[in-house]
Amino acid sequence: MQNSFGEPQTILLLGGTSDIGLAIVRRLASPTLRTVVLACRDPDAAGDLVAELGSGLGSGLGSGGVDVRAVGFDASDSAAHATLIASVAADIGDLDVVIMAFGVLGEQSGYDADPASAAAAVTVNYTGAVSSGLAVAHQLRAQGHGNLVVLSSVAGERVRASNFVYGSSKAGLDGFAQGLGDSLEGSGASVLVVRPGFVHSSMTEGMKAAPFSTTPDKVADAVASGLGAGKRTVWAPGILRFVFMTLRHLPGAVFRKLPLG
């Protein structure tokens, strides 16, 4: 259970190799942290990451260090998500913070040429988030505490033609996460929706950066601040809230002419 300072003892990262997710884990680490679970597609291949993270988090955090482990998680296998969440909780105890950081970006041109790949991407980004999110909410509600951090995207605020498959999946995810948070009202648990802009990470490597681009560490700072303040939504960077407040209400004919990529 988190202490009076909101410092977690346990963290589950869904999307265990995510640059942003790992940055959040590192940012939330404190002397109270005892267990981190990285849920990823191939846990055997995450051995070096587990060792590296365990060594880094263990430094200065008590003689026992932090137990970092990897478990198998396939975002597209919705039928397995409830069992996975229950199993992790049975192994490590209450889940103080769960970070939902999995997803695929892809290119719109590829989706246009291969509709099946577009459906597969939406299955990961949205359907997988629904099944795993509901499973997490069930666990947090039973505990009576805990935070679910959902990595959404500004791409879902107003979907652009250049990446409308990805953007629409994030729009669905964002709406689901907001509703899930409302459903947990009064339970002691909460949902924090995180809306980053362009983040310099392995997912975006080689892509042209958008205005107000940021880094995984800065997103992690925004998450930590949002959790500490009990917020339901954070933007990274914060200025994007005002940018999209304007973009959201532009007439379609004007919006389509903007050089947004």
Q: Are 215 and 129 in contact (CB under 8 A)?
A: no
Measure CA of the first residue to CA of the last residue in the chain; give whole Å.
Answer: 44
Under 8 Å between Cβ of 170 and 155: yes
Number of compact structural domains in the chain: 1
Residue 174 counted as domain residue? yes
Residue 72, judged by CB atoms within 10 A of its CB (0-12, 13-18, 19+), counts as middle
pLDDT score, position 63: 43
Residue 255 is predicted with a pLDDT of 59
Catalytic positions, please? 166
Q: Is residue 208 a part of any domain in this protein?
A: yes
Residue pLDDT tens, the chain, 261 long? 666 567 999 999 999 999 999 999 999 999 999 999 999 999 999 999 999 998 888 544 444 579 999 999 999 999 999 999 999 999 999 999 999 999 999 999 999 999 999 999 999 999 999 999 999 999 999 999 999 999 999 988 888 888 999 999 999 999 999 999 999 999 999 999 999 987 877 677 666 666 677 899 999 999 999 999 999 999 998 888 888 777 777 677 675 767 665
Structural domain contains residue 4: no
**What pLDDT shows up at residue 2?**
63
Note the pTM of the prediction, 2 decimals: 0.90
* pLDDT score, position 62: 42
Residue 61's pLDDT is: 44
Domain of residue 245, CATH code: 3.40.50.720
User: ∠211-156-112 over CA atoms, to 5°?
Assistant: 95
Please tell me the distance from the alpha carbon of residue 218 to that of residue 72, in angstroms, as a whole number. 28
CA distance 145 to 4: 13
Cα–Cα distance measured from residue 105 to residue 176, given in angstroms and rounded to the nearest whole number: 19
261 within domain boundaries: no
Kindly state whether residue 2 falls inside one of the protein's structural domains. Answer: no
Q: How far apart are CA 78 and CA 228, in angstroms?
A: 31
Residue 141 lies in a domain: yes
In a domain, 62, yes or no: yes
By residue range, what is the domain housing residue 164?
Answer: 10-255
Q: Identify the pLDDT of residue 260.
A: 63
Is residue 260 a part of any domain in this protein?
Answer: no
Cis peptide before 211 (omega within 30 of 0): no
